[in-house]
């Protein structure tokens, strides 16, 4: 008999950035650590990791351990410690402790990996949030189960990703309070976002989509 894991919140969360390596994973880590039901994804066609001269590209499905090994191998063959100096190896080693590999956002609509979420956090309005909304327009509107997409505009570096992750946690806590009080999440969500925007002066945007 399979045990059902108990989570802090009935809300199903997803965190989405471009490559499922930095921003979405920082948020994934903190939400999972606090006991929330959370997954994470990337919207790029490939995983992109900055390099000293040009980006490194990996197919989704390449494990974080394989990416770390690839970057370490590059450093061993060169005179530069670019990946260590910029914290990229440390960041992806962190990811290894959260899950096995980066996942592509469109996989949530595929029959073998189908997943439903109540809240999707994105971390870049242009490209990431727009891609998420477009994917729902292309693959959704079937069961018409509502999903709320909240964008937390976040610069793609380690420090900003950590700050954004803490902000994601605050939002998750506020949204959970609403649900636990038996209030309607759809009716309350815009007020919560507006309140946190005013308190934190953090750029947020919001959109509703349907499966």
In the prediction, which pLDDT does 4 show?
A: 57
SS (HEC) of 36-72:
CEEEEEECCCCEEECCCCCCEEECECECHHHHHHHHH
User: Is the separation of the CB atoms in 49 and 71 below 8 Å?
Assistant: yes
The token pair that represents 23 in the structure block: 């921003």
In which residue ranges of the chain is CATH 3.40.50.2300 found? 12-43+104-210
DSSP symbol at 108? G
Question: Is the Cβ–Cβ distance between 154 and 27 less than 8 Å?
Answer: no
Q: Residue 159: what pLDDT? A: 95
Cα dihedral sign, 12-17-23-25: positive
Residue 16 phi, psi dihedral angles, 5° rounding:
-135, 125
Q: Phi and psi (nearest 5°) for 167? A: -70, -40
For the domain 12-43+104-210, what is the CATH superfamily, name and number? Response regulator (3.40.50.2300)
Distance CA 195, CA 199 (A): 6
Spans of the chain, pLDDT less than 50: 1-3
CA atoms within a 13 Å half-sphere pointing along the CA-CB vector of 147: 27
- Residue 2 is predicted with a pLDDT of 43
- Burial degree of 137 (CB within 10 A; 0-12, 13-18, 19+): exposed
Tell me the three state secondary structure of residue 129: helix
Write out the two tokens for 181: 């009080």
Q: Are strands 56-58 and 47-49 parallel, antiparallel or unpaired?
A: antiparallel
Is residue 161 helix, strand or coil?
Answer: helix
DSSP H helices in the chain:
23-33, 64-76, 82-85, 88-96, 130-139, 158-180, 185-200
State how far the Cα of 66 lies from the Cα of 52, in Å rounded to an integer: 19
CB 198, CB 37: distance < 8 Å: no
């Amino acid at each position: 008999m399979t045990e059902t894991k108990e989570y802090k919140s009935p809300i199903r969360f997803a965190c989405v950035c471009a490559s499922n390596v930095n921003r979405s994973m920082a948020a994934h880590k903190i939400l999972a650590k606090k006991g929330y039901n959370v997954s994470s994804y990337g919207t790029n066609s490939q995983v992109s990791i900055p390099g000293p001269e040009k980006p490194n590209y990996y197919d989704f499905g390449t494990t974080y351990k394989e990416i770390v090994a690839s970057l370490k191998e590059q450093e061993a063959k060169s005179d530069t410690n670019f990946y260590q100096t910029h914290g990229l190896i440390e960041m992806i080693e962190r990811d290894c402790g959260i899950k096995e590999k980066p996942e592509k956002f469109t996989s949530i609509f595929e029959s073998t990996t189908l997943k439903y979420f109540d809240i999707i956090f994105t971390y870049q309005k242009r490209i990431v949030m727009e891609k998420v909304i477009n994917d729902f327009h292309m693959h959704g509107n079937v069961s018409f189960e509502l999903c709320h997409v909240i964008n937390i505009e976040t610069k793609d570096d380690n420090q900003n990703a950590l700050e954004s992750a803490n902000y994601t946690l605050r939002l998750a806590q506020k949204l959970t309070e609403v649900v636990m009080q038996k209030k309607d999440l759809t009716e309350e969500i815009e007020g919560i976002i507006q309140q946190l925007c005013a308190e934190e002066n953090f750029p947020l945007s919001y959109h509703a989509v349907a499966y």
